[in-house]
């Protein structure tokens, strides 16, 4: 049976990235295929949903929303489930916003036609502790660039400039119009990262990649 483990469904405003402040319905999937050192999503419970069950819950939200944010965890672990729910929500007029770690290439390929916006992470090896994911990121971005896509990279005290430069080359080669969001690690004192963030933003400018420094505003103002 086609079920997904979902930690929560709620409405709020987007707290990070290019769509900061937009009102969304959030569907947070429980599982993830990565375990990044800076992960700030600690999930300890879930409910199992069939696509129609999730759709009925989404229909309870009757305000005007920018889009549905499918987040996690990693939503693409449930690509077969997503294919069904996206058909239902698209028929109801919803836009689809996918938040993803940018590693599950075949899963994205199977769904890209139903996605409107891709918010894709770049997992820098020196930041995430996950090793070299650049090949997967490259293949993923090539597919994601068929739709609107922007990229997010967590910047830590440990982040190396070499990782940034690899990321910039990848962006220039696969999706040069995409914006890169430099996001300070929420577990570190952001004031101590300011100098690094400004230097990295300047490097992006020199390499002709549009970059913005945007922290996780929802945490600063106390929103879910």
Q: What is the pLDDT of residue 41?
A: 79
What confidence tier does 222 reach under pLDDT thresholds 50, 70, 90? low
Q: What is the pLDDT of residue 189?
A: 73
φ/ψ of 107, rounded to 5, equals: -65, -40
- The domain of 130 spans 4-221
Cα(26)–Cα(170) distance, rounded to whole angstroms?
29
List the CATH number of the domain containing 216.
3.20.20.70
Q: Does residue 216 surpass a pLDDT of 90?
A: no
Q: What is the pLDDT of residue 220?
A: 55
Q: What is the pLDDT of residue 223?
A: 58
Q: Domain total for the chain? A: 1
Q: Does residue 28 surpass a pLDDT of 80?
A: yes
Per-residue buried b or exposed e for 17-26, using 16+ beta carbons within 10 Å of the residue's own CB: bbbbeeebbb
Q: Distances from the Cα of 57 to the Cαs of 12, 51, 156, 189, in angstroms?
A: 15, 10, 37, 38
Q: What is the pLDDT of residue 213?
A: 95
Question: Which pTM value belongs to this model?
Answer: 0.94
pLDDT tens-digit readout, 123-164: 999 999 999 999 999 999 999 999 999 999 999 999 999 999
Cα(216)–Cα(188) distance, rounded to whole angstroms?
12
pLDDT tens-digit readout, 74-118: 999 999 999 999 999 999 999 999 999 999 999 999 999 999 999
Kindly state the percentage of the chain with pLDDT values over 90.
87
Q: Please give the mean pLDDT across all residues of the chain.
A: 94
Q: What is the pLDDT of residue 79?
A: 97
- Token pair, residue 4, equals 């997904």
What confidence tier does 120 reach under pLDDT thresholds 50, 70, 90? very high
Cα(151)–Cα(145) distance, rounded to whole angstroms?
11
């Amino acid at each position: 049976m086609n079920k997904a483990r979902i930690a929560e469904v709620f409405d709020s405003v987007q707290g990070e990235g290019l769509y900061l402040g937009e009102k969304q319905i959030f569907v947070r999937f429980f599982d993830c295929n990565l375990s990044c050192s800076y992960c700030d999503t600690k999930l300890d419970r879930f409910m199992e949903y069939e696509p129609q069950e999730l759709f009925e819950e989404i229909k309870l939200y009757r305000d005007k929303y920018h889009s549905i944010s499918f987040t996690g965890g990693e939503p693409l672990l449930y690509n077969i489930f997503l294919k069904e729910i996206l058909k239902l929500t698209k028929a109801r007029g919803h836009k689809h916003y996918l938040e993803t770690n940018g590693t599950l290439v075949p899963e994205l390929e199977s769904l890209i036609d139903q996605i409107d916006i891709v918010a894709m992470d770049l997992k820098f090896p020196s930041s995430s502790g996950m090793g070299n994911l650049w090949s997967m990121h490259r293949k993923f971005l090539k597919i994601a660039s068929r739709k609107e896509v922007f990229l997010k990279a967590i910047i830590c005290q440990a982040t190396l400039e070499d990782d940034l430069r690899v990321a910039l080359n990848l962006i220039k080669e696969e999706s040069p119009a995409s914006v890169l969001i430099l996001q300070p690690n929420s577990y570190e004192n952001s004031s101590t990262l300011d100098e690094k963030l400004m230097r990295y933003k300047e490097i992006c400018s020199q390499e002709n990649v549009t970059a913005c420094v945007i922290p996780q505003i929802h945490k600063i103002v106390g929103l879910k």
